[in-house]
Amino acid sequence: MNGVSRYHPLRVVLQGLLALLIVGALAPGFLVLEPMANSSPGTIDVLRLHMAGGMLILTLAVVRVIVQVASAHPTPPHTSYPLLERLASLAHLAVSSLVVLMVATGDATGIRAGLPAIVFGRSGAPLPRAGQA
């Protein structure tokens, strides 16, 4: 036994914060941005918030991995179902991978569409139409 009974508090806080931020980024993306016309005056503001949230999620996810690697871990619980223990480990890895992939695909789509210059650089260029990214 390694003497640690709980995960590092920063790791716990980051996990909860990431969960809230992911929901907070998905909700405006689907519920606000999707039905909004690109020509709507508030679209750039909502998109800026959505994109900044994605960058924050990526940054915190990287910090969480660093904390995870650098800190001691409690001994995993053992059940009488080794398959479930293995599936729990794989599910955790899958969710973490999906978060990184979600941010990466959002970044790639935004970069391909030229959104950083439009949204953060305030270039004044119009947003591309759907399907042009």
Q: How many CB atoms lie within 10 A of CB 103?
A: 20
112 or 77, higher pLDDT: 112
Integer Cα distance of 133 and 130 in angstroms? 7
Q: Is 40 helix (H, G, I), strand (E, B) or coil?
A: coil
pLDDT in tens, 69-84: 898 888 877 788 889 8
Helix axes 9-27, 43-70, angle to 10 degrees: 160
The percentage of the chain sitting over the pLDDT mark of 90, rounded to a whole number, equals 28
Phi, psi of 83, rounded to the nearest 5 degrees: -65, -40
pTM here is 0.79
* Domain ranges within the chain, ordered by starting residue: 10-73+82-120
Mean pLDDT across 16-39: 87
Integer Cα distance of 14 and 110 in angstroms? 25
Integer Cα distance of 23 and 41 in angstroms? 24
Q: Is 60 helix (H, G, I), strand (E, B) or coil?
A: helix
Integer Cα distance of 115 and 34 in angstroms? 16
Residue 124's region, left for phi above 0, alpha for psi from -120 to 50, else beta, is: left
41 or 99, higher pLDDT: 99
